[in-house]
Structure 1
Amino acid sequence: MAATGSSPFLYIPFVKSTHANSGRYRCVSLHRPMAVSADQSSSPARVTMQNGISLDLGEKKRKEANEFISKIYSNPDEIPDEKGETLRDYLEECKDLMIEPKAGPPRWFTPLECGSYTSDSPLLLFLPGIDGMGFGLIKHNRKLGKIFDMWCLHIPVTDKTSFTDLVKLVEGTVRSECKRSPNRPIYIVGESLGACIALDVSARNPDIDLMLILANPATSFSRSQLQSLIPLLQFMPSQLLPYLPYMMNLASGLEFVLKFPFYMSIAIYLGDHLRMVLENTVKGLMPHQTIGELTQDLVAISSYLSVLADILPGETLVWKLQMLKSASATVNSHLHAVKAQALLLCSGKDQLFPSQEEAQRLYCRLPKCEIRTFEESGHFLFLEDDFDLVTTIKGASFYRHGKYLDYVSDYIPPTPYEFKKIYESYRMVFAVTSPVMLSTLEDGKVVRGLAGIPSVGPVLFVGYHMLLAFELAPLVLRFMMERNILLRGIAHPMMFNRFKEGKMLDLASFDTYRLMGAVPVSGPNFYKLLSSKSHALLYPGGVREALHRKGEEYKLFWPEQSEFVRMASRFGARIVPFGVVGEDDIGEVSQMFFSTVAYCFGAHE
């Protein structure tokens, strides 16, 4: 509607594992292309339609592919839901594959399901949170692997590489890959601690084209509930650390006893000992915080610590929390040097960090930054069922292959499931308006439906806006459902850029338009659409026509000179004029209805 010096991390050793499913991962060497496993060496056939939509369909014949794609969008209710891995799968991967007593230094690896990327795909580096496993994108690997060359950082549980050295490791990779492909951006996806590493790498390399995607950054550690946990863990005996999460649940008793019934007497002792440690810690180190407040904080993060305790030894957890504190302080002192584009992903129900407040603070500090908020999500955003990282990237127009974003060539059409979600969000509009589409065949006969629409581009659809442009969703969605034609709307620039100052609509509210192929109105974008044989949608009246006032129903606000005709004639594009009837009348009826209701209530009083 996108010369490293001497370092022990330059040549990354292979990940060794004796587990049965270890073949799902391959290691990455910084100085040679990645190897593709034998089961993925043959790339699937790619079928491209006239409207620019492409699907990987293996070895299916082109005729069968065309029949398949013509039906895939016809009934969104029949499109199956996408099922990805869950938090349990994440924990199993962490336990079964990468936890080894002598696993070596940090290294990069790539999940084998990410092996279908194209030769011009940009590099994506994933930096994990405090767990360090590198499996945080397990739900998104397949979709990310189709558009990125994806590397994940793994930090063994026994490794104690400092924050500074981790930054140098990532920095060495970034510089090496930038030298190898200087005209492509490098994406860095970081969560929590990984977001701190990403920001520091960006601050140290302002001349490298980086695209940062930061989920719940730990830059707010000083205002986090984890801050109050460090003194407690420092004074807690080492033999109690493995049992900390169990002691925090249900007053440090019930769950622990159920899990270890033969340790009942020990559990009672541990509960009393924990209470004493809490009291002494609060009295000696945190005089302004009551025991009750600290206990509430610990219970709030107990679920998170339970996950970490299943992965990290107690001493490692203490060490990493201390590293998180120093990382936050270091990054905050370097924020002024960050010049990269950044997409901040914050959760509304993050119990560890004040993520929403921190996102607003970073938005004011970073020069090129956008925010996406997920109100119902917790700290583990990437493992949430309803969160899709690729959809978020596409909706924010945050994907590009070169130095500058090309809204035409960098565009990735919606997947069937993405289309289904968009359709469901506008289901009420369909139910209320019951739109009827009419088209004209070549012989002049008017038929119900879109049979008269040219299927081969370039085609330019020119129309006028109705009240609040409610006709857009039924129009674009019906074209996809009936004819599998994607209308690339030429839209107002306010849907793509927002000024730092002043009150403007949230850009996130226009993500659906961008996901469906909208481009900012400009001569170059119009030229590229027609030259790529697209189906373009143009409203010469613009926003003013959509926001017409009372008495301006069906009034056109077109410019005196229609420059689009000259451009369309250059490419031999078909111009299809269209009109909309009924939307302004519905608005008139609604106004009369509410006026009558208001009058009746006034008369009753």
Structure 2
Amino acid sequence: MPPAISHLLPSTQPRLFPCGSSQLFRHHTPAKNQSNRVGIFTKRLAVSVNDVPATRSVEKLWSEKEEIEWREEGEGEGEGEGEGERRNTGGWKAYFEDSKELIKSDGGPPRWFSPLCGGSRPNNSPLLLFLPGIDGVGLGLISNHQKLGKIFDVWCLHIPVMDRTPFTELVKMVERTVRSENQSCPNRPIYLVGDSLGACLALAVAARNPHIDLVLILANPATSYSRSQLQQLTPLLEAMPGQLYPGVPYFLSLMAGDPLRMVLENIVKGLSLQNTARELSEDLSILSSSLPVLADILPRETLLWKLQMLRSASAYANSRLHSTKAQILILSSGRDQLLPSQQEGERLYHLLPKCQLRRFDDKGHFLFLEGGIDLLTIIKSTSFYRRGKYHDYALDFIPPSPDELKNVLESYRFFTNLTSAVTLSTLEDGTIVRGLDGIPSEGPVLLVGYHMLLGWDLVPLVLKIVSERKIFVRGIAHPMMFERSKTGKMPELSSYDSYRLMGAVPVAASNFYKLFSSKAHVLLYPGGMREALHRKGEEYKLFWPEQAEFVRVAARFGAKIVPFGSVGEDDLGQVAIDYDDLIKVPYFRTEIESLTQEVANLRGDAKGEVANQQVHLPGIIPKYPGRFYYYFGKPIETKGRERELRDRDKSHELYMEVKSEVERCIAYLKEKRESDPYRYLLPRLVYQATHGFTSDVPTFEI
């Protein structure tokens, strides 16, 4: 329960909104023995509520109940009337509906309110302060309240329409809250989510408080105001008579975007013209019917004041960027018609030391109110969620929601359909069965296997396991997926967002210990990059180090080791130009050396083939697509053998047994696939055309 925030409100203003007959809000008076936490609430919003929700573990997020609660279609249990309709409009309808009440002037100063729809959350949840944009209403995250409220303590700043608090005073107000909350919970990070103007506010507070652990998430920062078209609006507003005030139609056009472009894009995506026109008509109808609300949010004098504040806020924040030490994530829209946000995102990314950038090329200025934007997913996939001073990849992981999992599955749908994976596993009694029933349900479990060319095997395997068994496999991955030099040539970190969302962790002994102690299913490829970037003719050859470290760690926690083989890369592509060819060309040799220096050297003390971890991209000739095959051998029990496997000879003996079993699984698959009538793409397409494209394609007889 956060401490009282009544100190932010003058004693002469003991309530947030006026009491009255409103059906959306009612006044809440705290009991005498409670902290002086005054506020109002609706079915979604509240200010300083006194009720403490029941706590629960973050790890319990995946359940049948949660699958209903996280559903986006508005059909789940406990969803208020009209919630499904509100979500389908991308947040705008909900924003306008609730703004009608929030913008009623009560003569009060800026203040905080909290959404009620977040539900229960763990005790150690970080505080998230939302700082609004030029509108000042504080409802910019309304599409995200429910999900964010499951793992954050969410407070939103509301700036009344007629309020004229200068930017510097807003900075001090937010700063008082930040310092108070930090003093109360010094080990808990504080998140500042700033939208446009709010981003300047967040940067200013961070610059003034470098000693406080702050995480900034900035959407289209208004630090670019001096290069924006908004500068031209101020003299226009000052020159025009009040009755010709153009502010509302202007902002409405920016919100609505280009209707023709929206229609064309939806047609390209495969949506029918009729559905596209209907959805577009509904969206424009919502915006058009909300003209009076927009006029109340940004009347002429208020818009003039906000534009002046933007100018001062931009200058203030820019002058203090050198003092900003906070961890920062910048979200930039490609179709922001108010600010040059993508150029500004690049500038801030290279200027601020601990900064990451994510681009949204098809989104406009009001990023959080647009459809398809899920802030919680962004936070999780960028590894920005943490409950302590540092992000713990093993323990701060929150399993993907059903919607997030669905989106990941859709993003890889083409590749998984193309490879049409066949899975076999072995039961405890040694019986080979189709599917993944042989993988133990209870952890800790260590899956150890062969890494195909470029890691092609990883995505179909992980998605198969989570789809069929509801098991989230925690992949041990190369550090290059988690950190990158800003001036380097390695792929952007956004390329690996889905891997982090699904639970990948960087290779480290501490992560092994944490995952096994939490009874996780862990995926390990001992061959690492050397196997994934193998040479010509080296497909299905294992490049494992001599050390048997994973055996001793698994034995310490009594983990079951499941060896597996994977086959199919040679039916998808063939290495034509490998490392040995590239290193002979001076240009490519220089590029390889440059790329290798950018990534962490994981096996600096190793010798032989496994030490050769040069980063390069081999030349690959595509082949007529075949099929992927996975075969999981019989689980090897280490429980009860802890003392035995401390001996290096014994652990090495088990290590070689695991390696030999992986090679046996590969050999079995290579032989059996020869009798698969649906090994190649054309027979599979014919089968699905006659049996349905969602049907499972048969394979060889076991």
TM > 0.5 fold call: yes
Counterpart contact for 1:527–1:567, Cα < 8 Å: yes
Q: Match of 1:261?
A: none
Residue 167 of structure 1 corresponds to which residue in structure 2? 171
Matched residue, 2:654 = none
Partners in 2 of 1:552 and 1:580 — Cα distance? 14
Q: In structure 1, what residue type is equivalent to 2:326?
A: A
Could you tell me how far apart the structure 2 residues matched to 1:117 and 1:21 are?
27
Q: Which amino acid aligns with 2:94?
A: D
Q: Give yes or no for contact 1:336–1:366 (8 Å, CA) kept in 2.
A: yes
Structure 1 partner of 2:402: 416
3-state SS of the aligned residue for 1:437?
strand
Partner of 2:336: 350
Note the C-alpha offset of 1:510: 0.4
* Residue 453 to residue 24, structure 1, CA distance change in 2 (3 Å): farther
- Once the two structures are TM-superposed, the CA of residue 43 in structure 1 deviates from its matched residue by 5.4
The partner residue of 1:230 within 208, 217, 234 is 234
1:4 and 1:203 map into 2 onto residues whose CA distance is 25
Q: Displacement, 1:244?
A: 4.4
- What are the within-5 Å matches in structure 2 for residues 590-601 of structure 1? 591=621
Aligned to 1:460: 446
Structure 2: distance between partners of 1:577 and 1:404: 33
Distance in 1 separating the partners of 2:97 and 2:459: 42
Partners of 2:58 and 2:121 within 8 A in 1: no
1:531-580: CA deviation from partner (whole Å, max 9, x where unpaired): 11000000111122112232221122211112111101101111111010
Is 1:202 matched up with 2:188?
A: no
Question: Residue 54 of structure 1: which of 52, 56, 62 is its match?
Answer: 62
Higher RCO (CA 8 Å, separation ≥ 6 residues) = 1
* Alpha-carbon distance change, 35 to 484 in structure 1, aligned in 2, over 3 angstroms: farther
2:571 is matched with 585
User: For the Cα contact (< 8 Å) 1:28–1:108, is it kept in 2?
Assistant: no
* Cα displacement (A) at 1:393: 0.3
1:44–1:57: 8 Å Cα contact kept in structure 2? no
Q: Please tell me whether residue 185 in structure 1 is matched to residue 189 in structure 2.
A: yes
Q: Do the aligned residues in 1 keep the contact of 2:42 with 2:116 (CA within 8 Å)?
A: no
Which residue in 1 is equivalent to 2:114?
Answer: 110
Q: Distance in 2 between matches of 1:117 and 1:35?
A: 21
Distance 1:465-1:26 versus aligned 2 partners, 3 A rule? farther
Q: Residue type of the partner of 1:92?
A: E
The alignment status of 1:372 with 2:358, answered yes or no, reads yes
How far apart are 1:484 and its partner, in Å? Answer: 1.1
Equivalent in 555, 580, 588 of residue 569 of structure 1: 555
* 1:285 matched residue in structure 2: none
Aligned to 2:17: 16
Q: Tell me the alpha carbon deviations over residues 108-158 of structure 1, each in whole angstroms, 9 at most, x when there is no partner.
A: 001211242221100000000011000000000000000000100000000
Question: Cα offset for 1:7?
Answer: 8.0
How far, CA to CA, are the matches of 1:389 and 1:455 in structure 2? 32
CA RMSD of aligned residues (A): 3.5
Q: Which residue of 2 aligns with 1:87?
A: 92
Instruction: Please state how far the C-alpha of 1:47 moved relative to its aligned partner.
Output: 9.1
TM-score of the pair, normalised by structure 2: 0.68
Counterparts in 2 of 1:396-415, with a 5 A limit? 396-415=382-401
Instruction: Tell me what 2:543 maps to.
Output: 557
The aligned counterpart of 1:69 is none
Change (3 A) 1:4 1:44: closer
AA of the residue aligned to 1:562: A
Closer/same/farther in 2, CA of residues 552 and 176 from structure 1, 3 Å limit: same
CA distance in 2, matches of 1:578, 1:556: 12
Is this contact kept in 2: 1:439–1:452, CA < 8 A? yes
Q: Which amino acid aligns with 2:62?
A: S
Q: Distance in 1 between matches of 2:213 and 2:466?
A: 36
**Inter-partner Cα distance in structure 2 for 1:303 and 1:356:** 31
> Do the aligned partners of residues 573 and 248 (structure 1) sit closer, same or farther apart at CA in structure 2, a change above 3 Å counting?
closer
Q: Aligned partners of 2:383 and 2:508: how far apart in 1?
A: 17
Aligned to 2:612: none
Residue 314 of structure 1 corresponds to which residue in structure 2? 300
Q: Is the 1:4–1:176 Cα contact (8 Å) retained in structure 2?
A: no
How far apart in 2 are the matches of 1:57 and 1:34?
33
Supply the AA of the counterpart residue of 1:591: I
Counterpart position of 1:383: 369
Instruction: Indicate conservation of the 8 Å contact 1:346/1:372, yes or no.
Output: yes
Superposition deviation, residue 470 in structure 1: 1.4
Deviation of 1:9 after TM superposition, in Å, equals: 4.4
Q: Which of the residues 212, 218, 222 maps onto 2:216?
A: 212
| C-alpha separation in 2, matches of 1:394 and 1:109 | 24
Task: Give the residue type in structure 2 aligned to 1:153.
Answer: L
Q: What is aligned with 2:128?
A: 124
Aligned in 2, Cα 1:56/1:401: closer, same or farther, shift over 3 Å? farther
Q: Distance in 1 between matches of 2:356 and 2:26?
A: 34
Which residue identity lines up with residue 143 of structure 1 in the other structure? K
Q: How far did residue 103 of structure 1 move?
A: 3.5
Separation in structure 1 between the aligned mates of residue 536 and residue 38 of structure 2, nearest angstrom? 63
Aligned residue type for 2:621: Q
Cα deviation for residue 6 of structure 1 reads 13
Shift of 1:86: 2.3
Alignment pair present for 1:98 and 2:84: no
The 3-state SS of whatever aligns with 1:578 is strand
Q: Given that residues 26 and 112 in structure 1 are in contact (C-alpha distance below 8 angstroms), is that contact kept between their aligned partners in structure 2? A: no
CA distance in 2, matches of 1:230, 1:32: 42
Tell me if the contact between 2:115 and 2:145 (Cα under 8 Å) persists in the aligned partners: yes
Q: CA deviation at 1:477?
A: 0.9
Aligned: 1:548 with 2:549 = no
Confirm or deny: 8 A CA contact 1:439 1:447 kept in the other structure.
Answer: yes
Q: Specify every segment of 5 or more residues in structure 1 that has no aligned partner in the other structure, as ranges.
A: 66-71, 73-79, 251-301, 595-605
Q: 1:304 to 1:369 in 2, by over 3 A?
A: farther
**Deviation at 1:487?**
0.3
* Aligned AA (1:90): Y
> Structure 1 residue 470 and structure 2 residue 472: aligned?
no
Percent identity between the two aligned chains: 59
Deviation at residue 22 of structure 1 after TM alignment: 2.6
Letter paired with 1:14: R
Deviations 1:418-446 (A, max 9, x none): 10111111111121111000000111111
**Secondary structure of the corresponding residue to residue 89 of structure 1:** helix
Q: 1:34 to 1:486 in 2, by over 3 A?
A: farther
User: Counterpart in 2 of 1:513?
Assistant: 499
CA deviation after TM superposition for structure 1 residue 405, in Å = 1.1
- Conserved 8 A contact 1:493-1:520: yes
User: Are residues 543 and 573 of structure 1, via their aligned partners in 2, closer, same or farther at CA, if it must alter by over 3 Å?
Assistant: same
SS at structure 1 position matched to 2:117: helix
Matched, 1:494 2:495: no
Distance 1:309 1:35, change over 3 A: closer
CA contact (8 A) 1:13 1:107 kept: no
Query: How many correspondences in the alignment?
Result: 520
Distance between the aligned counterparts of 1:586 and 1:444, measured in 2? Answer: 31
Change (3 A) 1:37 1:130: closer
Secondary structure, counterpart of 2:574 in structure 1: helix
State whether residues 247 and 298 of structure 2, in contact with CA within 8 Å, keep that contact through their aligned partners in structure 1. Answer: no
Once residues 556 and 228 of structure 1 are traced to their aligned partners in structure 2, the CA distance between those partners, rounded to angstroms, is 64
Query: Per-residue displacement from partner, 1:40-72 (whole Å, max 9, x unpaired)?
Result: 9695796998xx6534839x9xxx99xxxxxx9
Aligned partner of 2:470 among 480, 484, 488: 484
CA offsets per residue over residues 190-242 of structure 1, 9 Å max, x none?
0000000000000000000000000000000000010111121122223432x
Where 2:572 maps in the other structure, the secondary structure is helix
